[in-house]
Amino acid sequence: MNPDRSRLVLASQSPRRRALLAQIGVAHAALPVDVDEAALPGEAPAEYVLRLALAKARAGRALRPDRVVLGADTAVAVDEAILGKPADRADALAMLARLSGREHRVLTAVALAGEREESRLSVSHVRFRAIAPDEAAAYWATGEPADKAGGYAVQGLGAVFVEQLHGSYSGVMGLPLYETAELLRRAGIDPLGVLERASEGPAA
């Protein structure tokens, strides 16, 4: 295993984010962190996810100061309203009704805390078809929406509602891989190994 790649800690237990990191070949350890995810009064969606991603990365770095720590946060925004994880069934159904037949934004911020701190923001635009109330209720009954921002998972059954998606599919899932790979490379962790090969010089 490349020792550079094994330096990374993901400040999350999200199986989706872990799978996305694995998709681009980045070995990592997962570390849960405790961060208050309540939005501040008047906080814009972009400011919210950037603040939380950095807070998670910093919290992980405080626990593992010997590692580079990656934090991420996702929010669904309708106009300037932030839709987080639904509190209960009624909240989830209200979210789906609000998203039905219109476009919303999915904002995912990723932050890296190591010798220095950096962050990136991914913004995607998603349009839902109209969702009937009985469909929303059936979707909630699957259990999938319970822990998802906006009350749906684009990589799961929630895909049946998505009419159009412009932006980053991985960002909507919870970890924008382009932005993540860019941050990792700047920290010396390169999924493709290009940095490692360049440091070794030309082959004999």
Beta bridge partners of 164: 127
Catalytic option among 73, 91, 134, 190: 73
The continuous run of DSSP H or E covering 58 comes out as helix 45-63
| SS3 (DSSP) at 145 | helix
DSSP annotation string for 101-114: TSEEEEEEEEEEES
Catalytic-residue membership of 73: yes
Structure tokens given for 186: 């700047």
CA–CA gap between residue 176 and residue 180 (Å, rounded): 6
Is the CB of residue 110 less than 8 Å from the CB of residue 57? Answer: no
Both tokens of 65, joined, read 């100061």
Tokens linked to 169:
């599919």
Other CB atoms within 10 Å distance of the CB of residue 86? 22
Measured CA angle at 144 (ends 141, 145), to 5 deg: 90
Is the CB of residue 183 less than 8 Å from the CB of residue 138?
no
Q: Which residues are catalytically annotated?
A: 73
